[in-house]
């Protein structure tokens, strides 16, 4: 049997999404302590999860993840009381910059799968 494609559930499996979001929020929003950054991470995740549920239920047309991330960034900025467009823009890209779990690289290497 030949395996042509291997698909990984990346968020939470290969990368640490909560830490990546929390660190990005703390860096983008001046004066944010760890507890506040953790709370704002929850705002982000709740927004994305809620919109994904709406999409699945047919209450919203499909949009790619980066659109939901931009919306979540705006929600976080509003909650944090920050309106600066550069802060929202910096946050919007946070969804694509999560740190890998320490064992991710070794685990993928052990599967024998070569990245495309």
Distance between alpha carbon 22 and the CA centroid of its chain, in Å? 10
Query: What is the token pair recorded at 28?
Result: 């983008």
pTM: 0.82
If you average pLDDT over residues 72-99, what whole number do you get? 89
If you average pLDDT over residues 17-31, what whole number do you get? 90
CB atoms within 10 A of CB 92: 21
DSSP 93: G
- What whole-number distance in Å separates Cα of residue 14 and Cα of residue 95? 14
User: For residue range 37-72, what is the model confidence (pLDDT) as tens digits?
Assistant: 999 999 999 999 999 999 999 999 999 999 999 999
- C-alpha distance from residue 50 to each of 12, 46, 69, 99 (Å): 18, 6, 12, 24
- Note whether 69 and 48 are within 8 A (CB): yes
Domain ranges of the chain: 17-106
Whole-number average pLDDT of the chain = 89
pLDDT: which is higher, 96 or 38: 38
């Amino acid at each position: 049997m030949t395996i042509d494609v291997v698909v990984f559930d990346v968020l939470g499996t290969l990368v640490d999404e909560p830490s990546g979001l929390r660190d990005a929020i703390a860096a983008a929003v001046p004066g944010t302590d760890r507890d506040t950054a953790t709370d704002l991470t929850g705002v982000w995740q709740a927004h994305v999860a809620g919109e994904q549920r709406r999409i699945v239920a047919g209450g919203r047309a499909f949009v790619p993840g980066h659109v939901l991330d931009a919306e979540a960034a705006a929600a976080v900025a509003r909650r944090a009381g920050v309106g600066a467009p550069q802060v929202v823009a910096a946050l919007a890209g946070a969804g694509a910059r999560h740190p890998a779990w320490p064992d991710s690289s070794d685990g993928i290497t052990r599967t024998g799968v070569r990245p495309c």
